[in-house]
Structure 1
Amino acid sequence: MQGKKLFLDKEVVRFRLSERVRPHNLYRRLAELIDWSFLYEETRAVYSHTGQPSLDPVVFFKLVLVGRLENLVSDRRLVEHCALRLDILLFLGYEVDEELPWHSTISRTRQLFPAAVFERLFDHVFAQCVARGLVAGDTQAVDSAPVKANASLEAVLEKQAAGPSGPHLGGREQTPAAGSVLSAPAHQLRQLATGQRRRQGAQTGALGARHEQARLLSNKTHYSPTDPDARISVKPGKARALNYLCSLAVDTAYGVISHVQADLADQRDSLHLPRLLTGLQQRLRANELPLHDLLADAGYANGPNYARLEADHITAWIPVFGQYKPALEGFTYDPTTDAFTCAEGKTLPFQKYDTNQDGAWHKIYWAVCRDCQQCLRKPLCAPRAKRKQINRTIYDAAYRRAWQRQQTPRGQRMRRVRQGTVEPVFGNLLPHYGLRRMNVRGLAGAHKTMLVTAVAYNLKKLLKHRPQQQLSLAVALPQPRRAATKRAVRLSRSTGAQTLVIAQPRSRNGIA
């Protein structure tokens, strides 16, 4: 007989939420894994002793953590999603008929808590990873990736030159908005204007007809009034966008995130490494872990970074930048005398230190004028100058050592280790942990969001970790007098268990 299910929508009298969520559920295990009570003491200073009770701080951090685990960017969608999931309600400590907080309450609470509270939560989870043996600490891989800001590139405005006073409105002087005033050096603005004119002049049609001029945007001349901290950046193969930069340090043992920070996207990665290294070293020292090797790509290569890592006794496995040349063709360097020798045997000694327009220090070597004037190679070596001059960075020795390291087999292996450690982490965070786009504005808000995302990733690592204990055992037994064969002792290893098997000699009738 054919059955037919009828839905009566009746009121259930006996219902217990904890009985409807299985013991192996992700959020049930997560609630038992972490002790969240320390958050009350961390957030006590931001509340007053009077007034209406606020949203529970533990509930807030659990909500934003669920948003990362469920890959939800919007707070409004997060509340709607949590109301439909029994396991999430149990994790938050809410009954089925209890109303969840409004999405605006989550947003205001995120702005209320300082970034130090989010960092304290990250440190707490990282310490649990260290206690479980998931972090070795000696080798760290560093990388960065752009994250889209909560602002549109179409709404950017042009920066104004800084004047003696701001515009007046109603007889009062107004302070210009943050980032709305030109702050780049004059030589950089001139270089930018020259490059833009050259690109606009090249925009012609197939028959030479000029098309509509494209809008050329730069962080030196434009800013976003919606989110002044967002920066225009471009990644190879993708369109320009307003982005933030997510910088990570990942432990190479099990891929646990050991440090995360939000940076401005209009600067090179090498400029963000000192702050990242400071935070990473402090966290590793707090957990009594030494740092010996740092792995990064060529974007982190510059002289101050090499010098600092060497001063901290850390081996930098960072390939040198492509423009660096370890040796000059036709010139030999002598480190004892700090001088170059040309192919004709003339010496170019060190003369002085100097800086370029961007403030980078370098060493200058030049030869005597009469040596170059009488040299037959001058038309090829120094055709327009009176003498040959060589400019080298003051960190040339550190560059040379880094270049030599990357040529070794270990340097090639470290490159593969970095690619297999930190790049898969970004491959998970950006599309699967709600980091494809920011739902907040400002550098501080972006930093909080990235910290929560890293906490969610490390908690997943903790839940998936299954320690495997292996024990080797050898037993020597005395041989019997009438044994037909020697006794064999074998150790059979199974997953997480040890079984000792002793093969006894058999008699002629088959009985041991």
Structure 2
Amino acid sequence: MQGKKIYQEKLFLTFQLSEHIPADNIYRRLNELIDFNFLYKSTASYYGPEGQKSIDPVVFMKLMLAGYLENLVSDRRIINALRLRLDIRYFIGYDLDEELPWHSTLSRTRQLYGEEVFTELFKNILKQCIQKGMVSGKRQAVDSVFIKANASIERMLEKEILDDLSIYNQELASNEELTAAKIDSDEKQGAMLSKGSKFTNNTQYSPVDPDSRLSIKPGKVSNLNYLGQVSVDTASHVITHVQVFHADKRDSQCLPAILVRVADTLRENNLVLEEIIADTNYSSGNSLKALSAMDLTGYIPNTGRFIYEKKGFTYHPQGDYYECRNGKSLTFKGFSENDKRYMIARKNCMDCPFKDTCIGNRKYMVVKSTKDKPYYDQMHLRMQTKKAARMMKKRQSTVEPVIGTLVNYLGIKKVSSRGISQANKCLTMAAAAYNLKKLLKCKTKLDEGLQRMVKIVAYTGNKVHKKISLMISRQINPAVTQFHHDPNRCHLILTLGYQS
């Protein structure tokens, strides 16, 4: 018999939200895993004792996380999704009949809070990852990604025009008779004037988002972007640090600041940073000196400008000079920008058999070398080892997939907020959402591994095999396995841990 569903809306309904959220739902598990109450203390300084009540800081942060977990790139879309999703309502603690926050409230609250609030949430989640044994801290892979800004190249103005326009707008603001439409038309006129010239960061910038910068990748069109830097632990691909810079900066200029922040974050959790893996874009004298100053081992291929050995010339570090094949010395004559110049005059090469293929018709033979040559030499020799080849493969399989996930699935392809501070908050929350996913997966994985180990120990009795002890030490919190050398204690701890 064919069934036919007849829907008639009930006037009264008894409904308990928690009964309709599955136990394995991600938002239900997040509520059980993370205690967000520390946010009340973190945000207390942003509110006064009187006035209208704001949105709950915990609700705000949960909505931000839900937005990145669902790849929702705007506050309006977050609220629209919230209207249809029971699990997100349960996550933020809103019942079916409660009025939801306005999307503009999310934007204003994001602008209100400082970066330290978002960073504290990220570090709180990272700390739980560390406590689960997911982060070794020893080796970090660093890479960058361009994040599209919420601004258009067509609206860029020349810097001189923009300066005059800002003064003019201030004068107009004091005159209530003139409308905002007039200001907009002047901005458009300024943008049209700049179209005829070549767009560069030195001559133009965006009046909508002055912190954005023009940048381009080979084979792609130029855009107004931010430069996001991501540090990933190679043990289980957990993000340990993110930071946003202006897009006209090179990766090598960002690395010293990243090293300090990553090392500090790990030190707060009693972990020691030892190795850094990055690509050639991070190679520079300042980067290599920063690694040396912090006693870190880097695996960064040298830039193409660096030459380890000049064919036909031998460098002598004791006397700081080059010796040619004929035994003549090229002495240091000074600096040219960042390069050291070693020269010999043509009159010293008149009887040289290699004159035609070496100095030719030039008055001087010049060999250029960077003033940071000892650091480049050390890195060059290190990159010839088999371990360096493994590290480069590890970098590709570690940080690059993480950045791909952030861009394609966690809403970091483009930021809807404006300003480098707001972009930093967005990248920090996306990284926090990524680590939350890793944390949830790790919890299930450890539980399953623990269950298997309990069965093995129960089968073998009190004789715990050395291999099982090693597996326990690697997968379970070290605090749980501190007595694993005692078979009786280990059996007891494993059994109790599994039952709980």
**TM-score when scaled to structure 1?**
0.80
1: distance between equivalents of 2:460 and 2:77?
Answer: 66
- The aligned residue for residue 192 of structure 2 is none
Larger radius of gyration: 1
For 2:115, the equivalent position in structure 1 comes to 115
CA positional deviation for 1:157: 1.7
Give matches, 1:67-466, under 5 Å. 67-160=67-160, 169=168, 216-352=198-334, 354-356=335-337, 361-367=338-344, 370-373=347-350, 375=352, 377-383=354-360, 385-465=362-442, 466=445
Relative to 1, partners in 2 of residues 1:6 and 1:38: Cα closer, same or farther, differing over 3 Å? same
Task: Give the Cα separation in 2 of the matches to 1:232 and 1:58.
Answer: 36
Q: In the TM superposition, what is the alpha-carbon distance from 1:379 to its structure 2 partner?
A: 4.8
Q: In the TM superposition, what is the alpha-carbon distance from 1:349 to its structure 2 partner?
A: 2.6
Q: Please state how far the C-alpha of 1:367 moved relative to its aligned partner.
A: 2.5
**Aligned-partner Cα distance in 2 for 1:36–1:169:** 47
User: % of aligned pairs identical?
Assistant: 44
Return the letter of the residue paired with 2:408. Answer: P
SS in 2 for 1:83: helix
Judge conservation of contact 2:306–2:370 (CA < 8 Å) in 1.
no
Q: Partners of 1:119 and 1:168 in 2: how far apart?
A: 36
Aligned partner of residue 262 in structure 1, secondary structure: strand
Shift of 1:16: 0.6
DSSP-derived class of the 2:8 partner: coil
Shift of 1:369: 5.6
Determine helix, strand or coil for the equivalent of 1:249. Answer: strand
Evaluate the alpha carbon distance shift between residue 99 and residue 215 of structure 1 in structure 2; reply closer, same or farther with a 3 A threshold. Answer: same
CA distance in 2, matches of 1:456, 1:490: 39
Displacement of 1:490 after TM fit?
Answer: 10
Task: Give how far 1:225 is off.
Answer: 1.2
In 2, the alpha carbon distance for the partners of 1:440 and 1:171 equals: 24
Structure 1 position 445, deviation (Å): 0.3
Does the 8 Å contact 1:295/1:318 carry over to 2? yes
Q: In terms of mean alpha carbon deviation, does 55-64 or 379-388 score higher?
A: 379-388
* Corresponding residue number in structure 2 for 1:184: none
> 3-state DSSP class of the match of 1:261?
strand
Shift of 1:370: 3.4
SS at match of 1:130: helix
Q: Amino acid of the residue matched to residue 446 of structure 1?
A: A
> Which residue of structure 2 lines up, in the alignment, with residue 22 of structure 1?
22
Call closer, same or farther: CA 1:388–1:474 in 2, change over 3 Å: farther
Instruction: Specify the code of the residue in structure 1 equivalent to 2:42.
Output: E
Deviation larger for 87-96 or 395-404: 395-404
What amino acid does structure 2 have at the position aligned with 1:315? Answer: T
Q: Is the 8 A contact 1:18 1:90 kept in 2?
A: yes
Instruction: Trace 1:45-56 onto structure 2 (pairs within 5 A).
Output: 45-56=45-56
Give, in angstroms, the shift of residue 382 of structure 1: 3.5
Task: Give how far 1:229 is off.
Answer: 0.9
> Deviations for 1:428-477, whole angstroms, at most 9, x for unmatched residues?
11010011111100000000000000000000000000223558889999
Secondary structure at 1:333 match in 2: strand
Moved more, 216-225 or 458-467: 216-225
1:449 match: secondary structure: helix
Q: Using a 3 Å threshold, how does the CA distance of structure 1 residues 267 and 421 change in structure 2: closer, same or farther?
A: same
Residue by residue over 1:410-445, the C-alpha shift from the partner in whole angstroms, topping out at 9 and shown as x without a partner, is 111100000000000011110100111111000000
CA shift for structure 1 position 266: 1.3
Question: Displacement of 1:381 after TM fit?
Answer: 3.0
Query: CA separation of 1:429/1:166 partners in 2, compared to 1, >3 Å: closer, same or farther?
Result: closer
Residues 235/4 of structure 1: CA separation in 2 closer, same or farther (3 Å cut)? same
Specify every segment of 5 or more residues in structure 1 that has no aligned partner in the other structure, as ranges.
Answer: 175-212, 478-488, 498-512
Which piece of structure 1 moves more, 142-151 or 463-472? 463-472
Equivalent position SS for 2:248: coil
> Which sections of structure 2, spanning at least 5 residues, go unmatched?
174-194, 476-500
In structure 2, relative to structure 1, the CA distance for the partners of 1:47 and 1:167 (3 Å cut) is closer
Q: Say which is worse superposed, 406-415 or 462-471, in terms of deviation.
A: 462-471
Where 2:109 maps in the other structure, the secondary structure is helix
Partners of 1:476 and 1:142 lie apart in 2 by 45
Q: Structure 1: how far apart are the matches of 2:370 and 2:126?
A: 39
CA contact (8 A) 1:373 1:386 kept: no
Q: Secondary structure at the match of 1:278?
A: helix
Distance 2:242 2:274 in 1: 19
* 8 Å Cα contact 1:366-1:387 kept in structure 2: yes
Distance in 2, Cα, partners of 1:87 & 1:476? 43
Q: Which amino acid aligns with 1:99?
A: E
Cα displacement string for residues 249-284 of structure 1 (whole angstroms, at most 9, x for unaligned residues): 000000000000011111211011111111101101
Q: In structure 2, what is the Cα distance between the partners aligned to 1:249 and 1:90?
A: 33
- Report the CA distance shift for 1:309/1:77 in structure 2 as closer, same or farther (over 3 A): same
AA aligned opposite 2:377 = R
> Is the contact made by 1:373 and 1:387 (CA closer than 8 Å) also made in structure 2?
no
- Relative to structure 1, the CA distance from residue 257 to residue 215 in structure 2 (aligned partners, 3 Å threshold; closer, same or farther) is same
Structure with bigger helix share is 2
